Structure 1
Amino acid sequence: MNPIKNIAGKIYLVYLLLVFIITMLPAYIATLLILGLPEPRRSKALHGIFVVWMNVFMPLVFCPVRRKGTGYFAPGKNYVVVCNHNSFIDIPVSSPWIPGANKTLAKVEIAKVPLFGLIYKTGSILVDRESEKSRKESFTAMRETLRMGLHLCLYPEGTRNKTNEPLQEFQDGAFVVAIREQKPVMPALIFNTGKILPHQYGFWGRPCPVELHFLPPVETAGMSLKELPALKAQIWQTMHDYYVTNKRA
């Protein structure tokens, strides 16, 4: 990378972080005001806060978000939405732009970040991956989320994809909870967030339009856990093929 591009990328990332902090403050205050609400009202109110916040933040950092396939969300139904995972930007892109209130599974460590941690844990199901007890509790919380009528937004790759492959191998969790609760799985592909914060460059970023594409849901009604491997393979192949076909250089 040439020196000018390197410096420009670092300046942009500083700008992005400053805008994030400044726009987060009103969201933080609004989150404090809804903490006393019972679920699912709290999650629905928080989703509205996220929508306003990210519709301000993303354009200000020159990363407008475009959606496709929102019509696949049927009124009155909730889904297990499974997304690819390339960047830290994925969560602020996916959660607010899913049509309807939702929760995501999130690392407990980030909840300790000042100010942002409160917003983060209010909209998430926290899990300590080193604790078997925490993993079991998070699975119960995911099932309860679906029973409340909320969407569940999960990243079945488990961690950010730092490989050159379109997708990493999927873990079972998202598909287990979908089958257990007999909820349809909604595949979703996020494009370009890996270009905004490329993992190989460290403290460096660049603006780029983001796209979030929802694909036709796959029903799990009548499925048992014996069919989990086939369901997981089907969703993985569908997402892989769509990403390869629609990814822009």
Structure 2
Amino acid sequence: MRVLLKCLQALYSLYALVIWLGIMFLILPPIVLVSLFGKVAGGNMVFYFLRFWAHVWFPAVGIFVKRTWQTPRTKEPCIYLANHTSYLDAALAVKVMPLPFRPLGKVELSRIPLFGLIYSRSVVPVDRKTTKGRAQSMRDMLYMIRHNVSLLIFPEGTTNESGQPLLPFHSGAFRLAIETQTPIRPVLYVDNHARLAKMHMMALRPGPCRVVFLPQVPVAGLTMDDVPRLKKQVRQMMDEALRSYRSFPELEAETI
């Protein structure tokens, strides 16, 4: 039985990879073309093609997405802050986030063949290795906010494999929100870890993917002195909501 299950998993993973690459090759030429229209207009058009990919790929591989808004969405730009438990997170964002938006992404990934070409045209690249790189990343984020483009940031800074609901948050997203007076919209990826825990296709599993948009957190009138309080408020809000949507066996074991 175990051998049969491994064979079925391998066939499923191969199928998912073929569909993934097939759609990417299909949308690559128009993505290259529309990217010539600039960072804002061109980038927005790139996301419409990526959204087409996401709307086809997720149901094709048996991953069924449910999006829930706890309070109505608004049209003004905001900073989406999402928990980060899976390499599926960024792909799912293309399907569920209101357009236009840009995720923050590691500049190194833009060097991957084929994927890197699409990636570099659809993210705000972040280079944390140098002072010059960090400064340029901040300028790029400010540019997008001022052109009515929302940002998606993972405040944990890395994939959470701890078994805890959330890792500690970095302060950068909260500083940016206050500096630009842009509201924060916390987002929960509830099931992504169960769908793809590690970065290899043999770990992919079909099933539900719930995405929950929590109430918006205003930052009007806040100053940099409020960053620690705002960070604590948003993290507590996301932590409590995550615990209400899914269980954490590691935490339950600690209480026994």
TM-score past 0.5 threshold: yes
Distance in 2, Cα, partners of 1:200 & 1:33: 30
SS in structure 2 at match of 1:213? strand
SS in structure 1 at match of 2:205? coil
Residue number in structure 1 paired with 2:24: 24
SS in structure 1 at match of 2:169? coil
Residue number in structure 2 paired with 1:144: 143
Structure 1 contact 188–215 (Cα < 8 Å) conserved: yes
SS in structure 2 at match of 1:209? strand
- Going from structure 1 to structure 2, the CA distance change for 1:200 and 1:137 (only over 3 Å counts) comes to closer
For 1:38-57, what aligned pairs fall within 5 Å after superposition?
Answer: 38-57=38-57
Structure 2 contact 89–189 (Cα < 8 Å) conserved: yes
Once the 2 structures are TM-superposed, how far is the Cα of residue 144 of structure 1 from its aligned partner? 1.0
Greater shift in the superposed pair: 7-16 or 148-157: 7-16
SS in structure 2 at match of 1:206? coil
Residue number in structure 2 paired with 1:175: 174
For 1:86-235, what aligned pairs fall within 5 Å after superposition?
Answer: 86-199=85-198, 203-235=202-234
- Going from structure 1 to structure 2, the CA distance change for 1:154 and 1:195 (only over 3 Å counts) comes to same
Distance in 1, Cα, partners of 2:169 & 2:17: 31
Distance in 1, Cα, partners of 2:129 & 2:49: 31
Residue number in structure 1 paired with 2:251: none
Once the 2 structures are TM-superposed, how far is the Cα of residue 248 of structure 1 from its aligned partner? 6.3
- Aligned partner letter, 1:127: V
- Going from structure 1 to structure 2, the CA distance change for 1:136 and 1:42 (only over 3 Å counts) comes to same
Residue number in structure 1 paired with 2:68: 68
- Going from structure 1 to structure 2, the CA distance change for 1:53 and 1:70 (only over 3 Å counts) comes to farther
Once the 2 structures are TM-superposed, how far is the Cα of residue 228 of structure 1 from its aligned partner? 0.4
Greater shift in the superposed pair: 44-53 or 192-201: 192-201
Once the 2 structures are TM-superposed, how far is the Cα of residue 168 of structure 1 from its aligned partner? 0.7
C-alpha deviations, 1:104-123, integer Å up to 9, x for none? Answer: 11111211111111111101
Structure 1 gap ranges (5+): none
Residue number in structure 2 paired with 1:34: 34
Distance in 1, Cα, partners of 2:47 & 2:201: 31
Residue number in structure 1 paired with 2:246: 247
The root-mean-square deviation of aligned C-alpha atoms, in Å, is: 2.0
SS in structure 1 at match of 2:105? strand
Give aligned pairs, total.
Answer: 248
- Going from structure 1 to structure 2, the CA distance change for 1:170 and 1:47 (only over 3 Å counts) comes to same
Structure 1 contact 125–142 (Cα < 8 Å) conserved: yes
- Aligned partner letter, 1:119: I
Structure 2 contact 13–201 (Cα < 8 Å) conserved: no
Structure 2 contact 54–94 (Cα < 8 Å) conserved: no
Runs of 4+ in 1 over 6 A off after TM superposition: none
Structure 1 contact 12–204 (Cα < 8 Å) conserved: no
Once the 2 structures are TM-superposed, how far is the Cα of residue 70 of structure 1 from its aligned partner? 7.8
Normalising by the residue count of structure 1, what TM-score does the alignment of the two structures yield?
0.93
Distance in 1, Cα, partners of 2:131 & 2:16: 36
Residue number in structure 1 paired with 2:254: none
- Aligned partner letter, 1:47: F
